[in-house]
């Protein structure tokens, strides 16, 4: 039996590898894969370098404090953020279990396999790369062997706990995506309390770990906890492994966004687009990701940057447009699984294109409104972003829709967004060249004449011209769509 089990595990591994290797995307674009490979390597390298110098960074930031104690305390932040990021982005390695259920492979093998494989997740590699340099440089050189062993085992257990806790989190809470806001709030409150020194979470955290490290037999606690989370995930997976369980049971509203009905055909199309976002993993996770990315504003908008027009304009170009660009870049690809339905039903192409344009406009305005609170930092932000909003409505929208007609790759709506490059072609990157490039070019021209503050007048003006010629521009899009629709439909049909 033992032998059989191992063969099952190896087979699964081979199939998984084949699935990856033979996937449509992997075969298609070598250049993109190389690019992503380099980016991935670059991230890991960065993590390693930061890990390597973390002792010096801490010594600089926290003078006169115990290095090991501070480091261990700061890990509190690391692990809380790690959990949140994992919740959002970590893909659970799934293997389509159905074909194997009737084969002579032990069911437990089928369940242990994805769990064990998740150990190789990018997040775990990042964590280990981050800790090891500090461990070798500081802990090993200053502490006795037993302490080193327990300290490291505790951290390793924490990584494992986060890994499998996330498994359970995802299975439980994927139905309630708003939970992430709840989690964010908790972590935010804890960090706030820690910063204001009301409740020192970092101190508690480092004390606990150091106590464990100093009393070696206590190391059993984190080890037991990691096994506990593993089996929690295991039983949850087991419960979900029957085929019929994949059906949803919760009721959904049969009709929503009824107010859009008054806009006729275009309103109907918009309603479908909104339902598409709400009811499918990939566009939904992309939408939530955009919300999170809005917090980048706190990094870009700082007192010292408020006089730097380049940073203000650059941030204004990407921050409020997150929703519009993220969603808009796949405008037609989102519909790849039912594109033929749109082509054969009584939908005028002009209305179809107009609905895309309107949706871009709605998303742009949404982004503007959501980033408006940053105007509290400086009124300039509100004005510049307003001018860029005009530019987005008048010009970027048209450019995005135009380039979308060149994207003929099928998108599977059910997959999660993170590290998912399905449907992404070089076109997606080229798309950014005009919509970010043109405004930046205008900025540089104005800068040569030493009047960079007029850039946003120009952008707003160009936007208004675009809006004025909207009818004409839409005609170009409609023509373009008619020309490209066969090629798009053909690409979308390739599963």
Partner 1 sequence: MIEIVNLEKVYKKKIALSITELIIRENEFIGLVGNNGAGKTTLLSLILDLIEPTKGYVKSKETLVSESDDWKNYTGSYLNEGFLIPFLTPFEFLAFIGNLHGKKNEEVKSFLNENSLFFTEEFSSTKYIRELSAGNKNKLGILASFISEPEILLLDEPFSNLDPSSQSWLKSKLKKLNEEGVTILISSHDLKHVTEICNRILLLEKGIIIKDNNTNTETLVELERYFNK
Interface residues toward partner 1, by CB under 8 A = 247-248, 250-252, 254-255, 261, 265, 268, 272, 275-276, 279-280, 337-341, 343-349, 413, 486, 489-490, 492-493
Residue 387, number of CB atoms within 10 A of its CB: 23
CA distance 334 to 273: 9
| CB closer to partner 1, 112 vs 327 | 327
| CB closer to partner 1, 267 vs 316 | 267
In contact, 71 and 134? CB cutoff 8 Å: yes
| CB closer to partner 1, 60 vs 245 | 245
| CB closer to partner 1, 264 vs 373 | 264
Q: How far is the CB of 489 from partner 1 (least distance, A)?
A: 6
Residue 391 CA neighbour count, 13 Å, CB half = 28
Q: How far is the CB of 149 from partner 1 (least distance, A)?
A: 51
Q: How far is the CB of 242 from partner 1 (least distance, A)?
A: 15
| CB closer to partner 1, 337 vs 378 | 337
In contact, 390 and 460? CB cutoff 8 Å: yes
Helix-then-strand count for the chain, H and E: 25, 0
| CB closer to partner 1, 170 vs 271 | 271
Q: How far is the CB of 282 from partner 1 (least distance, A)?
A: 11
Nearest to 473 by CA among 400, 367, 376, 375: 400
Residues in the chain: 495
Q: How far is the CB of 486 from partner 1 (least distance, A)?
A: 4
CA distance 82 to 166: 10
Q: How far is the CB of 97 from partner 1 (least distance, A)?
A: 18
| CB closer to partner 1, 268 vs 422 | 268
| CB closer to partner 1, 280 vs 407 | 280
Helix (H, G, I), strand (E, B) or coil at 30: helix
In contact, 352 and 426? CB cutoff 8 Å: no
CA distance 459 to 284: 31
Residue 424 CA neighbour count, 13 Å, CB half = 17
| CB closer to partner 1, 37 vs 264 | 264
CA distance 461 to 387: 8
Long-range CB pairs of 483-489 (<8 Å, 24+ gap) are 483/405, 484/405, 484/406, 485/343, 485/405, 487/408, 488/332, 488/339, 488/405, 488/407, 488/408, 489/339, 489/340, 489/343
Q: How far is the CB of 179 from partner 1 (least distance, A)?
A: 22
CA distance 71 to 209: 11
| CB closer to partner 1, 142 vs 174 | 174
Q: Which residue is listed with tokens 């940053």?
A: 374
In contact, 471 and 354? CB cutoff 8 Å: no
| Full DSSP string of 255-275 | ---GGGGGGHHHHHHHHHHHH
Residue 131, number of CB atoms within 10 A of its CB: 22
Q: How far is the CB of 328 from partner 1 (least distance, A)?
A: 19
């Amino acid at each position: 039996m033992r032998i059989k089990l191992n063969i099952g595990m190896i087979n699964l591994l081979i199939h998984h590898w084949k699935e990856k290797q033979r996937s449509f995307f992997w075969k298609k674009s070598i250049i993109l894969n190389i690019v992503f490979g380099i980016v991935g390597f670059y991230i890991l390298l960065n993590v390693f370098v930061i890990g390597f110098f973390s002792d010096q960074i801490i010594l600089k930031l926290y003078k006169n404090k115990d290095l090991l104690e501070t480091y261990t305390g700061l890990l509190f932040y690391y692990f809380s953020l790690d959990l949140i990021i994992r919740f959002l982005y970590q893909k659970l390695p799934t293997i389509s279990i159905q074909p194997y259920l009737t084969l002579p492979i032990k069911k437990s093998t089928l369940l242990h396999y994805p769990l064990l494989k998740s150990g190789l997740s990018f997040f775990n590699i990042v964590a280990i790369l981050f800790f090891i340099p500090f461990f070798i440089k500081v802990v090993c050189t200053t502490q006795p062997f037993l302490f080193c062993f327990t300290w490291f085992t505790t951290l390793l257990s924490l990584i494992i706990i986060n890994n499998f806790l996330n498994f359970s989190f995802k299975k439980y809470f994927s139905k309630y995506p708003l939970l992430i806001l709840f989690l964010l709030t908790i972590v935010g409150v804890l960090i706030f309390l820690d910063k204001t020194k009301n409740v020192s979470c970092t101190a508690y955290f480092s004390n606990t770990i150091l106590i464990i490290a100093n009393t070696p037999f206590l190391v059993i606690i984190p080890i037991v906890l990691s096994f506990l989370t593993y089996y929690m995930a295991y039983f949850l997976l087991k419960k979900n492994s029957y085929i019929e369980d994949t059906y949803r049971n919760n009721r959904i509203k049969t009709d929503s966004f009824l107010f859009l009905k008054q806009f006729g055909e275009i309103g109907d199309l918009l309603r479908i687009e909104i339902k598409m976002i709400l009811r499918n993993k990939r566009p939904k996770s992309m939408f939530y990701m955009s919300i999170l990315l809005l917090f980048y504003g706190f990094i870009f908008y700082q007192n010292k940057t408020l006089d730097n027009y380049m940073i203000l304009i650059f941030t204004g170009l990407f921050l409020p447009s997150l929703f519009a660009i993220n969603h808009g870049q796949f405008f037609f690809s989102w519909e790849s699984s039912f594109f033929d339905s749109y082509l054969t039903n009584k939908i005028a192409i002009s209305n179809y294109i107009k609905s895309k344009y309107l949706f871009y406009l709605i998303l742009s305005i949404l982004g503007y409104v959501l980033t408006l609170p940053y105007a509290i930092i400086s009124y300039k932000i509100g004005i510049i972003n307003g001018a860029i909003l005009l530019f987005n409505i008048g010009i970027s929208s048209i450019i995005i829709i135009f380039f979308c007609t060149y994207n003929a790759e099928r998108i599977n709506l059910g997959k999660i967004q993170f590290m998912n490059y399905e449907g992404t072609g070089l076109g997606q990157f080229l798309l950014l060249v005009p919509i970010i490039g043109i405004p930046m070019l205008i900025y540089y021209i104005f800068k040569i004449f030493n009047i960079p503050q007029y850039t946003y007048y120009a952008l707003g003006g160009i936007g208004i011209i675009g809006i004025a010629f909207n009818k004409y521009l839409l005609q170009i899009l409609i023509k373009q769509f008619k020309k490209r629709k066969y090629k798009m439909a053909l690409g979308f049909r390739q599963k």
